[in-house]
């Protein structure tokens, strides 16, 4: 079995256990951010932004202090939200309009949280390594995002 796929399978199992018997979105976001932070290697930020009107507002996270509000369609997070799709960026400095909340970040993966066809937020992972994330990470994070949405709906 592929070690990365196994890691995401284990993350899903642990998240299901953490979410059991509770529906609160902030509690689940806090636990999932911590789980990602302590499980996935080579991260310098793992967390959530939630939709508030025409922007994304900072939610629970692990890592350095972050940008509080990101405009809809702005940066990697805002673009992923506006386009309702996961975005993997190998080099954030080459992403037009990138918002540098942490200058140490070199690559990023952002996965939208979609409920009933509407984006309610995103899960954001940053790494100090270039090209840290790939399609397997994107698929794993999509599965975790779907689990989160089901657990909080």
CATH of the domain at 147: 3.30.450.40
Strand ranges, E, within 40-105: 45-52, 55-63, 69-71, 87-89
Give the total number of structural domains in the chain: 1
Asked if pLDDT for residue 83 goes beyond 90, the answer is: yes
Asked if pLDDT for residue 57 goes beyond 70, the answer is: yes
Structure tokens at 144: 């975790």
Asked if pLDDT for residue 28 goes beyond 80, the answer is: yes
Structure tokens at 136: 């397997």
Task: Give the structural domain span for 79.
Answer: 3-152
pTM over 0.85: yes
């Amino acid at each position: 079995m592929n070690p990365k796929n196994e890691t995401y399978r284990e993350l899903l199992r642990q998240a299901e256990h953490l979410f059991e018997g509770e529906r609160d979105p902030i509690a689940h976001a806090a636990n999932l951010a911590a789980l990602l932070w302590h499980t996935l290697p080579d991260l310098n930020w793992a967390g959530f932004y939630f939709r508030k009107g025409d922007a994304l507002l900072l939610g629970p996270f692990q890592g350095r202090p972050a940008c509080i509000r990101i405009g809809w369609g702005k940066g990697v997070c805002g673009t992923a939200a506006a386009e309702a799709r996961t975005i993997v960026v190998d080099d954030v400095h080459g992403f037009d309009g990138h918002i540098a909340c942490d200058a140490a970040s070199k690559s990023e993966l952002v996965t939208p949280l979609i409920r009933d066809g509407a984006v309610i937020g995103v899960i954001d992972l940053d790494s100090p390594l270039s090209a840290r994330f790939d399609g397997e990470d994107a698929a794993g994070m999509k599965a975790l995002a779907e689990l989160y949405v089901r657990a909080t709906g």
